[in-house]
Structure 1
Amino acid sequence: MISSTLLSVATLAGAALAAVDCTGVNAIAPGCASQESLHYRDFFYIGGRYVAGAAGNLTYDQVYVEKLTPASGVNQSHPVVLYHGGGTSGVTWLNTPDNRKGFASHLLDYGYQVYIVDQTSVGRGSSENLNDYVMRIGSTAEITEKGFTAPELTNAYPQSQEHTQWPGTGVRGDPIFDAFESTFIPLTSNLTVQELSMRSAGCQLLSLIGPSFLVSHSIGALHPLLLSNDCPQLVAGNINLEPGNIPFQSYVGNATSSVGRTSARPWGMTNTYVTYEPAISSSSELTYELVGDDTPANRSCYMQTGTIHKLTEIAKVKYVALTGSASPHITYEHCVIDFLQQAGVAAEWIKLADKGITGNGHFGYLEKNSPQIAGVVHDWIQANC
């Protein structure tokens, strides 16, 4: 028989665990339970090359890949490969900053084999190549607040007032915000060399695991597009959460004003060569102009003029973009869709509000209704297998 003293001790211990503050980084405490799905984890480095240096041969341009296998077994026909956005790393798919179930876990629950990629030069994707990967800041607290977690406070575009799904206040000092901001790390400003390494290693990865659905966020959408060009037979479909590769331009700091725009991606949606028809040997052969009235709610876009060159290889892969109703991207994501469609790609645009999923900013897959967003991704994959 268990004594009343032991029962009292057990009760007190249970109460102490229940009282543990598991907000933000506090969840590292032993008394805080994980919300993630049970899985097996392996990691690999794909690609890379030896480069002779004064100290000996160094490995350049290898890509970190983490393999997650649901403990209950894989029951989906194609793997899913996750590509993170700029300023963060592949860990962004593993947890949410308020310690709810991460996006990778939602996909594991659906029975997918999940692969998480770190971009070369970023996070675990860092290599010995210190010459080419010139680094810059990932994000400041101010950029994060204005563009990602609390755009409603700045009110740079009318849709920002619909933002309701970020967990917490979204400003510096809130433990959830601070946990999120801590995930930002330096990234390279040399996107050309990064693209070349990512497209080489990416096709090597897909040749090892078979045709896969590629899920990207923000500027991470560069890489699935390049793989669609280089090895389209290995890409089952491209699912882009708020793609950040707007044609021929970049919004600095996720800004929505004309002041925040700079020239970018001379090949349209990439910094490096992609196949066009009629064929071109230089990006300077593409002609384009800014079209549409430019307002805070609906930005103007660059579109091809004169001879319209088609993205014949990229067009072989199904493409969809998902956009939150309160994100800055809702003001300019049409530029991505319009450019791709003009170039012969049957690009699809899913506005999450049309699915009854509202209030999302740019990092919707981390926000309170992320399970519903994962459901849209799953449904699209099932419809396009």
Structure 2
Amino acid sequence: MQQSDIIVVGGGMVGAASALSLAQLGLKVTVLERNEPKAFSMEQPFDLRVSAISTASENLLRDLGAWQQIMDWRLCPYRRLGVWESELAYAEFDADSIRLPHLGHIVENRLIQLALWQQIKHHDNVEIVLGQEISNFNQDGEGVTLTTSSKTFSAKVILAADGANSMIRTLAGIGCTGWNYSQSAMLINVETQRPQQDITWQQFFPSGPVAMLPMPGNSASLVWYNSREKIKQLAQMNSDELTDEIHKTFPKRLGGVKVIDKAYFPLTRQHANQYQKGRVLLLGDAAHTINPLAGQGVNIGFKDVKMLSTIIASAIGEGKCWHDFSILAQYEKTRRPDNLLMMSAMDGLYATFSNNSALLKVVRNIGLFAAHRAPLVKSKVLKYACGL
């Protein structure tokens, strides 16, 4: 039987960050992951899965020693965020207004994971175990035992960071509430004629918004939200046909583009009924999936990591039993309200801008017009989005 203090199931961005942050506290951590991320080279095309990394997430990755490696590879900082429905009600948020050098960075998910894995491999307190299929686990007052196809692992706590379809969440008997939205989202990597790397923007339509996330060089990740039927139609087009549709639908400020790659996925909202059940804790997508309108998915997952690490560090520093149920319960008590607030805000944004009412459209545009001219409101919104 392989023993450790904590078993982390899932070695993605959130799982790897949680393993590394807890190992830095002196705890022995075992990470179970099916596959190792593919190695990086500068010649590789951009991945489709990217994230808008907030200032708070950047600080966490910097503390974990992974940020410098990401910077050495590739990323794109942005200083401005543009939002509008009508051009007359354009609202722009700028890093200068909150005295920051940038609002965030667009980074490929795989590079974040890979940079964290590089740090893990140099840490004596973390072991990564690949390719083990989990069959069951049991827990009691002393600890947890997890069984795979060929090994048995024991620890004081299991962290489920194994995604929206978490097996650990299912085995623990933790239910979820949520729904599927009527829309899907298409991700499209493009080459752009115009350099516009310092801004990310989003324009709203009743059928769904379109967004541009800047990538290094004259490249961008476009996000196209629409009905599931429409997105399926777009996915079946060849690159030239899709390029024509982009030029017809996206705002003129995008300029000419060349499609490089594309993929699509349905939009879902899911929230675990509880984040803790005994010695099982849920983090990231295993606990919550959110409408990606504001790009906050992985950022709230990293907030989970930071809060759990802070709670356990405080308990260790005070000489308390860090894995006592009352200590572990503090994680859900602090994170659940904040996550629910962000999820509800995204649902409200989705509902507001997907309504085709003429009256509501006027109200929306007045709101954006006013927000652009209200420095205090803009500052508070920006700081919250940046995790500050």
Give the alignment's TM-score, normalised by structure 1.
Answer: 0.30
* Greater share of strand: 2
Give the alignment's TM-score, normalised by structure 2.
Answer: 0.29
